[in-house]
């Protein structure tokens, strides 16, 4: 009888192991299938930018290109027809200056909320962060008519003011949490030596917050660079048009150029944000690690 029980137990264990292995194989197959589906758009982009318009129209979309020579011609067409130089300069201005100002103002707000004895700290924080509670689409109509009355529509100043204001809440949240964890002994020692609150902020707190500030700056720059909704409504003229808005106009106006030129323009538009991330990746990862600790 004992032999029969042991045999049954071994059979159950064997069936359980076989079922687990089958489940693992199914998960592996599903992961490979989803990975291939995720890679297909990148493969389509990689091969299309090396095709001429004639080659693309005469061959299947996923066929390999005959050479790499058409790439430079696609770049020239996309750059000239899409006015990408002006649009990239506009987006770089909005992203760099707007994100930098937003992070700086957020650092000042976080310092006041986290390290100063001001009344209604949580109320001030909720007031700053309340702008992210509602969908951004709700701001479009009031912003449009308000900018129209103030003559800020289709101006660089108007775009910069908007991007600075809308990018303040999230950095305030991140920097407030980080500054709350810093030792207050440094602040008290500086105040005892006669330092003002601005001195404490600029010389003690701010240098110790550069990691998280770099991380949120990169995130806000990327958001501004990729924004198309507000740039289409608030800055649709040629001289104020952002790069994403320029891509939208280019796709509609020069769709006859072919997907090869349009995708080349999209690739060119993504290069600056990728380069900035590669340049600041060390500080970005350090900032994330500090925020997690």
Residues 122, 105 share a domain: yes
Whether 4 has a pLDDT exceeding 70, the answer reads no
Q: Residue 225's closest CA among 260, 271, 265?
A: 271
Residues 150, 138 share a domain: yes
pLDDT in tens, 236-270: 888 999 999 999 888 877 666 778 888 899 999 99
Residues 94, 151 share a domain: yes
Residues 285, 187 share a domain: yes
Whether 212 has a pLDDT exceeding 80, the answer reads yes
Q: Residue 288's closest CA among 226, 217, 224?
A: 217
Structural domain total, the chain: 2
The distance in angstroms from the start CA to the end CA of the chain is: 58
Mean of the per-residue pLDDT values for the chain?
85
Whether 136 has a pLDDT exceeding 50, the answer reads yes
Residues 140, 37 share a domain: no
In this prediction, residue 289 has a pLDDT band, given cuts at 50, 70 and 90, of low
Residues 230, 87 share a domain: yes
Cα-Cα-Cα-Cα dihedral sign, residues 147, 150, 152, 158: negative
Residues 107, 22 share a domain: no
The one-character DSSP state at 193 is T
Residues 11, 123 share a domain: no
Task: Out of 20, 47, 72, pick the residue that ends a domain.
Answer: 72
Q: Check residue 224 and give its pLDDT.
A: 96
Residue 184 sits in a domain whose CATH number is 1.10.3720.10
CB 133 within 8 A of CB 139: no
Task: Out of 72, 90, 106, pick the residue that ends a domain.
Answer: 72
Residues 6+ apart with CB under 8 A from 50: 65, 67, 68, 70, 71
- Tell me the residue range of the domain where 63 lies: 2-72
Q: pTM, whole model, 2 decimals? A: 0.82
- Give the residue carrying structure tokens 């050479």: 67
pLDDT in tens, 13-50: 777 777 777 777 888 888 888 888 888 888 888 888 99
What is the rounded CA–CA span in Å between residue 261 and residue 49? 7
In this prediction, residue 291 has a pLDDT band, given cuts at 50, 70 and 90, of very low
Task: Out of 40, 72, 104, pick the residue that ends a domain.
Answer: 72
263: tokens are 């995708």
Residues 135, 233 share a domain: yes
CA 190, chain centre distance (Å): 37
Overall residue count recorded for the chain in this entry: 293
- Give the residue carrying structure tokens 């991140």: 174
Whether 3 has a pLDDT exceeding 80, the answer reads no
pLDDT in tens, 75-128: 998 898 888 999 999 999 999 999 999 999 999 999 999 888 888 888 888 888
Residues 81, 68 share a domain: no
Residues 180, 51 share a domain: no
Residues 236, 95 share a domain: yes
CA dist 100 → 174, 179, 188, 200, 236 (Å): 15, 18, 28, 20, 23
């Amino acid at each position: 009888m004992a032999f029969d029980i042991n045999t049954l137990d071994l059979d159950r264990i064997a069936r359980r192991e076989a079922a687990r292995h089958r489940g693992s194989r199914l998960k592996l197959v599903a992961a490979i299938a989803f990975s291939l589906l995720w890679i297909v758009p990148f493969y389509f982009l990689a091969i299309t930018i090396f095709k001429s318009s004639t080659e693309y129209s005469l061959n299947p979309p996923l066929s390999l290109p005959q050479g790499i020579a058409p790439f430079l011609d696609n770049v020239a067409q996309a750059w000239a027809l899409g006015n990408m130089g002006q649009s990239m300069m506009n987006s770089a201005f909005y992203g760099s200056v707007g994100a930098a100002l937003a992070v700086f103002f957020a650092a000042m707000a976080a310092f006041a909320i986290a390290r100063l004895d001001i009344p209604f700290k949580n109320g001030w924080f909720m007031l700053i962060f309340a702008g992210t509670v509602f969908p951004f689409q709700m701001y479009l109509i009031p912003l449009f008519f308000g900018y129209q009355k103030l003559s800020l529509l289709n101006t660089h100043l108007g775009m910069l003011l908007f991007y600075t204001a809308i990018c303040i809440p999230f950095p305030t949240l991140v920097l407030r949490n980080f500054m709350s964890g810093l030792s207050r002994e440094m602040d008290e020692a500086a105040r005892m030596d006669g330092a003002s609150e601005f001195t404490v902020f600029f010389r003690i707190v701010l240098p110790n917050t550069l990691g998280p500030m770099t991380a949120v700056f990169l995130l806000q720059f990327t958001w501004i660079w990729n924004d198309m909704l507000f740039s289409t409504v608030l800055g649709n003229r040629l001289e104020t048009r952002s790069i994403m808005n320029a891509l939208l106009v280019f796709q509609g106006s020069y769709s006859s150029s072919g997907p090869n030129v349009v995708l080349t323009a999209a690739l060119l538009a993504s290069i600056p944000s990728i380069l900035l991330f590669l340049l600041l990746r060390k500080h970005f990862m350090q900032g994330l690690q500090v925020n997690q600790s």
